[in-house]
Copies of this chain bind each other. A is one copy, B any other.
Amino acid sequence: MQHIKTISKNIGLAPIALFLATDQCFASEAAKLDSGDTAWMMTSTLLVLMMTIPGVALFYSGMVRKKNVLATAMQSFAVACVMSVLWMIVGYSLAFTDGGAINFFVGSLDKVFLHGVGVNSLSGTIPETVFMTFQMTFAIITPALITGALADRIKFSSLLLFLSLWMLLVYAPITHWVWGGGFLGDAGVLDFAGGTVVHINSGIAALVGAMVLGRRHGYGSENMAPHNLVLSLIGASLLWVGWFGFNAGSAVAANGSAGMAMAVTQIAAAAAAVSWMIIEWIFRGKPSVLGIISGAVSGLVAITPASGFVGPSGALMIGLSAGITCYWGAVVLKHKLGYDDTLDVFGVHGIGGITGAVLTGVFAVEAIGGTPGLLEGNVEQVLVQIEGIVATIIYCAIATFLILKIIGCTMGLRVDKETEIGGLDSNLHGETIQ
């Protein structure tokens, strides 16, 4: 997604916001469709969709108890459907058009209902339809990730309303900040594929959500161990496989940058899985499936912002670190602070996203992504990265809190106790698994 940068570098164009707004008016030299890039970006798009359905749906539903399996899977699936419609209607326009006077913050309504996105509109070397759909899949997975923190107790109707508002009021603006022409992109924040936009964002929303919602009944005393980690392992595997679309797809081309993004993604994921496994082996006495898959996802999260900027060795370090910080987030920090983040969305995506955003500033290699990092003497980049983190945390936390409180006061957020104990599957959806 760092194509603002890459495109700028290659063809000297103004930020993509402007670019997109004008690409239908004149056929610039640069704007020629490349079938290889298009093939890769269509593939990347469907990979990122696969990350949510069935990826996140399985990753999460395998971790809950048997009475909430279908409800949990349904949340991801329904979120995918609702966000697609909203993105087509207004989300894409808010994130990826020029907002004029308020462009530092959000785009305009110029492309509501995809107005003007035609069969020949290009976005760089690929059809704009593909770019729009690729971005749609990001607007799907980010809210879908949040559901993990609210699992086992949120009302389905409230969840859909919450995440719809959240996508439009939190996700779309922050995307605009970083990739759509807004102030964080201008400030030079490096976020190749969404460490800030997707992971810190969803992680913070998850933390706020878990705290506003309160703990599950029986939390701390009842055994709430995952009912079937085979499902979660399938989910984690599809997340991993799909993440190549996420990261290498964010090059918006099938080129050397995409190739390096793919390699570092693989290395970081594997390294984080190994480091989590080892720590768990030491402290818990046994390596677990839950542990190794959580580790892999941690590595994938942490390499996300870095994937176009670092090399293999940086990726190895980022991965090893993320396995440790996220283990600490999910296993130590959570118990210390006492909130009930059901499936550790904050522990993995929040902590992992922050780890990755900071380390991108440390390990960035000029020869790879055009920007040097701390290790190459560019101290400032780390500060810019922290600026991006802090801005996102503040805005996301406040906005999420307000949306949840408003819904909580009107239609309510939690199911009643009997529904929670009896299980969401039969009570909310009238279905159970056998």
| Contacts from A to B (Cβ < 8 Å) | 33-40, 42-43, 45-47, 49-50, 53-54, 57-58, 61, 66, 69-70, 73-74, 77-78, 80-85, 88, 113-114, 117-121, 126-130, 132-133, 136, 156, 225-231, 233-234, 236-238, 240-241, 244-245, 248, 253-260, 262-263, 266-267, 269-271, 273-274, 277, 284-290, 292-293, 295-296, 311-313, 316, 367-368, 428-431, 433-434
Contact = CB atoms under 8 A, between A and B. Distances in A.
8 contacts: A46-B244, A77-B236, A85-B270, A119-B311, A129-B260, A286-B429, A286-B430, A288-B429
A157 to B, nearest CB: 9
Q: Which 7 A-B pairs have the closest CB atoms?
A: A35-B36, A127-B259, A84-B270, A36-B36, A39-B40, A53-B237, A54-B237
Nearest to A83: B270
Nearest to A134: B262
A63 B255 CA distance: 41
Contacts of A128: 259
* Residue among A117, A273, A430 with most chain B CB within 10 A: A430
B42 A248 contact: yes
For chain A, what secondary structure do more than half of its interface residues adopt (helix, strand, loop), or is it mixed? helix
A118 B85 CA distance: 41
A240 B81 CA distance: 11
A183 to B, nearest CB: 28
A53 B124 CA distance: 33
A64 to B, nearest CB: 11
Contacts of A256: 33, 119-121, 127, 129
Nearest to A240: B53
Nearest to A121: B256
A54 B262 contact: no
A259 to B, nearest CB: 3
B259 A126 contact: yes
A128 B262 CA distance: 11
A228 B228 CA distance: 13
A263 B38 contact: no
Contacts of A248: 42
A368 B119 contact: yes
A85 B39 contact: no
B433 A50 contact: no
A133 to B, nearest CB: 5
A85 B241 contact: no
B230 A433 contact: yes
Given A43-B43, A258-B38, A57 B237 contact: yes
A99 to B, nearest CB: 22
* Residue among A47, A127, A132, A289 with most chain B CB within 10 A: A289
Given A35-B37, A127-B259, A312-B114, A81 B241 contact: no
B228 A38 contact: no
Contacts of A226: 431
Contacts of A74: 233, 287, 289, 292
Contacts of A61: 230
Contact of A288 (B34, B88, B430): B430
A119 B260 contact: yes
A69 B119 contact: no
Given A39-B36, A46-B244, A69-B230, A263 B118 contact: no
A271 B54 contact: no
Nearest to A243: B46
B431 A290 contact: yes
Given A286-B428, A430-B288, A45 B270 contact: no
A45 B262 contact: yes
A81 B274 contact: yes
Contacts of A34: 35-36
B296 A81 contact: yes
Contacts of A121: 256
A35 B35 contact: yes
Contacts of A240: 49, 53
